[in-house]
Structure formats: structure tokens, C-alpha cells
Amino acid sequence: MGLFANLGSFVNKILGPQHPPLTGAYAPPQPAVSEPPRLAVEEPPRLAVHEPQYFHWPGNGIFRVSAVGESFYQNQIESLAQNGIQPALVFCTAHLVPETNNIHDPMAVALHVNGLKVAHLSREDAKTFRNTLQDCGRAGQITSCNAVISSGGMTLDRTYDYSIDLDLQAEGSASPLLPELVRLSSAPKLIKYSTEELIVEFPFVKHDKLDMCSLGCKLTVWTKPDREDIQFFAPSSIGGNGRIGALQKNFYGGFEADLARFSWTSIFGFKGPSVLVRLGTSIDPRFSFRLKERAKMLIFCTDKMGNYAVLAANFNILKPVSGQLEESLEVSMTVPNPDHLVKLRELVTSADFIVGHDVDAQKLQLAQLLPEPTGKVWISTKRTWFEFGTPPEQIASIMAETCNISALEKCSSLFEFLFTPSGKTTKTRRYMVWLLSSNWS
């Protein structure tokens, strides 16, 4: 009976009012559609929304806070998503409403979208959020943040629950306020196709899967003869927990046959919560040095001395397989001295990859000095400190010590962080191998 009931729902989804897939960055206004009558369902009162009066939280575009309790509000979320049988992808503004009178948890925080309650923060997140509200003088206030509704949809044998994730940070630059509902297609997009490679974009990947990936990392490809799709999994996936996305075998003509040629599958890039996956006949050219016996690494740091930036670099030759350092050349230069710019261009051009700490800022600095694109990949030691388990108090101490030191001293600090004096200890080799296989920008 359950199967036939679900099949009936599936057919109703297909034959009922359908909405065309959206391909633009923002959704056009939705036309009014007359729907068949539904059973009367008692809905909770809608939150009165007056956007300007609410504080909007910063975010980084990754949507790292997952809501809970969506299963209790599937009808409300469906009315917002309007996704038919396809998985939903709706970017929106969520309002965080403290529920002090909640009989189950007086610290509860409800999430409202477009005036409808759709979920809650987890108990742990709600407690942290309430403390943050208290610390910034907004105790008990309604605030807002960017959010995304994903999943949902139906197949012949299963109905999927919707999921809601929040782009919510206590500090940082304020996120742009989204329109109330931005409905996008959740289908993978073909970015590039040639005889050597195929690049496809998965529009939304949840943060826990993103954390399992890094630029250039290899993905596992899985399918079965009786399946209609081909699935991609992050490194170290267990079961289905690291699933990045899937492509239908009829994604385009000849795709399934091309898989035999595309033996290298890896992460090509990130765009906020979306992921670019590359399938190629050989390794991504940006990471070809991993196959070399020796690789050239440039450590890049800058500081300010008067009106000029002082740049320092350690130019190193090492073995990617072992992380063993073979040669090192320390360079310090003042830019924009023309001779130094020529030298800098030579160093960057000959390097296989660049190491920096605050990579985003250093990329901008390098782009100002060398306007033409370098095409180099970067390793961020700022990220590796956290992922390699460096204690937070040690990170804080190092950051405090490096605030007022010269570029050459900063460069030396990073160099010491990457290598022991001999560069040949087991720990260093293991660390450098790990560093060379992840944390690319």
C-alpha cells in the first residue's frame, strides 16, 4: 500500500502544476498558478517581516550551520521551494527567532523563511547563538541571515526530506541581503567539454562534504550497470557520507563511454557552496609537479616599509613524494623597483606552487605587482594550522609575534613551520606529503 500511495504522490507531482527550471543567478518572478484544492492544514502564524529593522549576520557563502527539525515542516518548506519532483535549491533570507516560551527548550531558536516557521537551530547551536546575542547586546532580538533550502524531490520509490543550512557567522563582513526567495536549478551544469577533459559544476554541496575536499584532490567514481547515474565521492568517504554529486549517464551524448578515457577525476575549483569537478585523460596540469621527482616551491610574504612593500621569498626544491628539502634560496627585495619586479616574475614563473599564510590577501598583493595571471596554485598555512591540529593558543601566539615583523622574518617563520632544520625527519616528511596533497587555493 505504501508503495502505491507514494507512486500516486509521484504521479500527482508530475501531472500537477510544474515550474520551469531556472538557469539565471536570480529567479524571475513566479507566475500565479492555480493549484488543485488541498485538505485544510492549520498553519502556524506567519512572522511579520520588515527587513530593515533586523540585524543581518555576516557569512562566508559556505552555509556551515545546519538546521534541525525540518521534517516537522515539510509542507511549509515545499510551499517555498516549489521544486516539483526535482531536488530543491532555494537561496533565501532566514529569520532567527528566540523562543523563550518554548516548553521543550527555553533556549530554542526557530527559523522563519518568508514568514513561515521551517526549522530550529540545534540545541548546541542555539545555546551558542543565544550567548552571542547576549554578548553583542541583542539578547532576545530577531535577527536574520542568508540560508539555503536543498534536497527534497521524489523518485518512484522514495520521497526526500528538505534540508536547510545557514550562512551564519558572528564576525566578518556583512552578507548581502538576498531577495526573499531565489529559486535555482539544482541540476549539474556542463562548463567545458573537449577530448582531453570535461568540467562540470555541482551548484550546491553541503559544508561537511566541502570540508572533505581540497583543490586538486582525487575523487572516487562509483556506479553500477543497473543504475542510471554516476556518483562522485570525496576522499576518505565512508558509505555515502562524502557524496559530492551525481551525473545521469545520459548527461550528454557519449558521456558514459567517455568515462573510460577520463581516468583522472578531481576537484577543479570552488565557487562558494558550488564545486567544479574535472574528469580528464591525465592529471590537472596545475598539479603535474606531483608526478615529478622534484618540485619548486615559493614562500611569499610582504610587509610595509614607508611607501614600498618589502617582499621576501624562500625558493625551495623538494621531493613531493617525501617532502624532503633539497635546496633553498632566500630572497629579499623592495618593490616596485623595476629590477626586483623582473626577479619576482622569474621566481613566480619558475615555481610549481606558492606558499603563503593569508593567501587571499597575498594573491591580491601579487596581482598588483604582476597584473598578468600567474596560473599558480597556492598552499595556505593559515588553513593547515587549524586542520593539522595546531593548538589555538599556539596559533594566537604565533599571530601576535608576526604582526610587526619584517617580510624576511615572516618568510623565515613559515619556512621553519614547514621544515625542521634538517628537513628530513619522519614528521616533516609526512607533514609535507599531506601539505602537497591538500589545501590548495
pLDDT, tens digit, 9 for 90 and up, residues 106-149: 999 999 999 999 999 999 999 999 999 999 899 999 999 999 99
Q: How many other CB atoms are found less than 10 A from the CB of residue 60?
A: 14
Q: What is the pLDDT of residues 181-203, one digit of tens each?
A: 899 999 999 999 998 999 999 99
Side-by-side strand order, sheet with 274-280: 189-193, 197-202, 274-280, 264-271
Please state, in angstroms and rounded to a whole number, the distance separating the CA atoms of residues 148 and 144.
13
Query: Between β-strands 353-356 and 377-380, what pairing exists: parallel, antiparallel or unpaired?
Result: parallel
Q: Does domain 291-436 have CATH number 2.60.40?
A: no
**Residue written as grid cell 577525476:** 265
Domain ranges of the chain: 2-27+41-183, 189-282, 291-436
What's the rounded mean pLDDT across residues 85-95?
93
Cell of 193: 567539454
Helices (H) and strands (E) in the chain, counts: 11, 22
DSSP-assigned letter for residue 16: S
- Of the chain, the end-to-end C-alpha distance in Å amounts to 52
Q: Judge whether residue 309 has pLDDT over 80.
A: no
What are the φ/ψ torsions at residue 170 (nearest 5 degrees)?
A: -75, -25
Q: Across 1-153, where does the E strand assignment appear?
A: 55-56, 65-66, 88-99, 108-113, 116-120, 143-151
Q: Judge whether residue 280 has pLDDT over 70.
A: yes
285-291 long-range contacts (CB < 8 A, ≥24 apart) are 286/216, 286/375, 286/376, 286/377, 287/216, 287/377, 287/440, 289/320, 289/352, 289/353, 290/320, 290/436, 290/437
Query: Between β-strands 308-318 and 325-335, what pairing exists: parallel, antiparallel or unpaired?
Result: antiparallel
Cα 194 to chain centroid distance, Å, stands at: 26
- Identify the pLDDT of residue 105: 93
Cell of 275: 564545486
Q: What is the pLDDT of residues 327-356, one digit of tens each?
A: 777 777 777 778 888 888 888 888 888 888
**Residue written as grid cell 624532503:** 324
Q: Judge whether residue 264 has pLDDT over 70.
A: yes
Instruction: Compute the radius of gyration of the chain from its Cα atoms.
Output: 25
360-364 long-range contacts (CB < 8 A, ≥24 apart) are 360/441, 362/300, 362/301, 362/302, 363/441
- Identify the pLDDT of residue 8: 40
Q: Judge whether residue 278 has pLDDT over 50.
A: yes
Q: Judge whether residue 32 has pLDDT over 50.
A: no
Q: Which residues pair with 264 in a beta bridge?
A: 280
Q: What is the pLDDT of residues 386-432, one digit of tens each?
A: 555 566 666 666 666 666 677 777 777 777 767 655 545 566 666 66
- Least Cα distance to 154 among 239, 54, 238, 74 occurs for 74
Q: What's the mean pLDDT when you consider all of the chain?
A: 78
Cell of 180: 526573499
Cα 145 to chain centroid distance, Å, stands at: 17
Cell of 199: 568540467
Q: Judge whether residue 89 has pLDDT over 70.
A: yes
- Identify the pLDDT of residue 128: 93
Range with the lowest mean pLDDT among 218-227, 297-306, 363-372, 419-428?
419-428
- Identify the pLDDT of residue 387: 58
- Identify the pLDDT of residue 347: 84
- Identify the pLDDT of residue 142: 94
- Identify the pLDDT of residue 315: 67
Q: What is the pLDDT of residues 36-74, one digit of tens each?
A: 333 333 343 444 444 457 899 988 888 999 999 999 999
- Identify the pLDDT of residue 288: 85
- Least Cα distance to 163 among 205, 200, 212 occurs for 205
Q: How many other CB atoms are found less than 10 A from the CB of residue 207?
A: 15
- Identify the pLDDT of residue 189: 94
Q: Which residues pair with 269 in a beta bridge?
A: 276
Q: What is the pLDDT of residues 162-178, one digit of tens each?
A: 999 999 887 766 677 77
Q: Judge whether residue 91 has pLDDT over 70.
A: yes
Q: What is the pTM of this model?
A: 0.73
Range with the lowest mean pLDDT among 118-132, 200-214, 249-263?
249-263
- Identify the pLDDT of residue 155: 77
Provide, rounded to the nearest whole percent, the portion of the chain with pLDDT above 90: 32
Q: How many other CB atoms are found less than 10 A from the CB of residue 54?
A: 18
Query: Between β-strands 295-305 and 353-356, what pairing exists: parallel, antiparallel or unpaired?
Result: parallel
| Predicted confidence band of residue 291 (pLDDT cuts 50, 70, 90) | confident
- Identify the pLDDT of residue 15: 34
- Identify the pLDDT of residue 42: 37
- Identify the pLDDT of residue 131: 92
Cell of 163: 534540508
Please state, in angstroms and rounded to a whole number, the distance separating the CA atoms of residues 235 and 201.
18
- Identify the pLDDT of residue 311: 66
Please state, in angstroms and rounded to a whole number, the distance separating the CA atoms of residues 322 and 317.
12
Choice between 126 and 378, residue whose per-residue pLDDT is larger: 126
- Least Cα distance to 383 among 352, 414, 357, 412 occurs for 357
What's the rounded mean pLDDT across residues 286-312?
73
- Identify the pLDDT of residue 79: 94
Q: Position 39: which residue type? A: L
- Identify the pLDDT of residue 172: 65
Please state, in angstroms and rounded to a whole number, the distance separating the CA atoms of residues 233 and 220.
5
Provide, rounded to the nearest whole percent, the portion of the chain with pLDDT above 70: 73
**Residue written as grid cell 577520463:** 262
